[in-house]
Amino acid sequence: MYRLVSLLALAALAACSRGAPPVPEPGASSPAAVEAPALPPVMGPERRILAVGDSLFAGYGLASPAESYPARLEAALRARGINARIANAGVSGDTSGAGAERFAFVLKSQPRKPDLILLEFGGNDVLRALPPEQTRANLDRMLAEARAQGVPVVLMGLLAPPNLGPDYKARFEPIYPALAKQYGARLVPFFLAPVIGKPDLIQDDHIHPNARGVDEIVAASVEQVAGALPRS
């Protein structure tokens, strides 16, 4: 059963790179975070959230940015009475290394310091069979920067595919729970779990979540995000 889930996870992880723009060179400037369209006002203080990741945040293949995970999560939080505003800094094709290169810039370029960061990287690292130690170091770098800026984090976890072998799996998968514990981050253990094995929730390329799939992922993670917001 785990082997089936892991094989499907590999296909889902390809969402981070297939058909995506080239990964930015280290040190290259990155696009500014794009915010979701305005939603009806909600009572209470505005809670700013910064979503930093790859195409799983960028909304690759969806009809509009309003269908991306950060935009749909924003709507779900507002439906719960939380006056959330999520800035989407997802860039298709990013490895954790590319994310680490731009993370501090994106964080410091926000109009005001966010109340929470959503961090989602590692899929492209797996597809390229990059050493898990690199992934861990890059995620560690971003989490350390978030801590230095005093911003809590929700970390989106991923699984490793079986074709990379048990050693790779044993080195890769503990990265997320270990770093979440080290930095006191809220962990979503397997971000793509709600769409694995459900072709009706995946786009025609059999890789990216479709709009319904995004909504399922949101439904499975919104309470963890809401719970990670600091008390105002």
Positions annotated as catalytic residues are 55, 205, 208
Of 105, 176, 187, 91, give the one whose Cα is nearest residue 138: 176
**Per-residue tokens: 21:** 């723009």
Sheet bearing 47-53, strands edge to edge: 34-35, 84-90, 47-53, 116-120, 153-156, 186-188
**Per-residue tokens: 58:** 């960028």
DSSP H helices in the chain: 2-13, 55-58, 69-79, 96-108, 123-127, 132-148, 165-172, 175-183, 211-228
Of 20, 33, 3, 12, give the one whose Cα is nearest residue 213: 12
Of 117, 33, 49, 123, give the one whose Cα is nearest residue 82: 49
Q: Which residue has the tokens 């459900």?
A: 198
**∠ CA 199-207-136, rounded to 5°:** 125
Burial of 56 (C-beta count, 10 Å sphere; 0-12/13-18/19+): buried
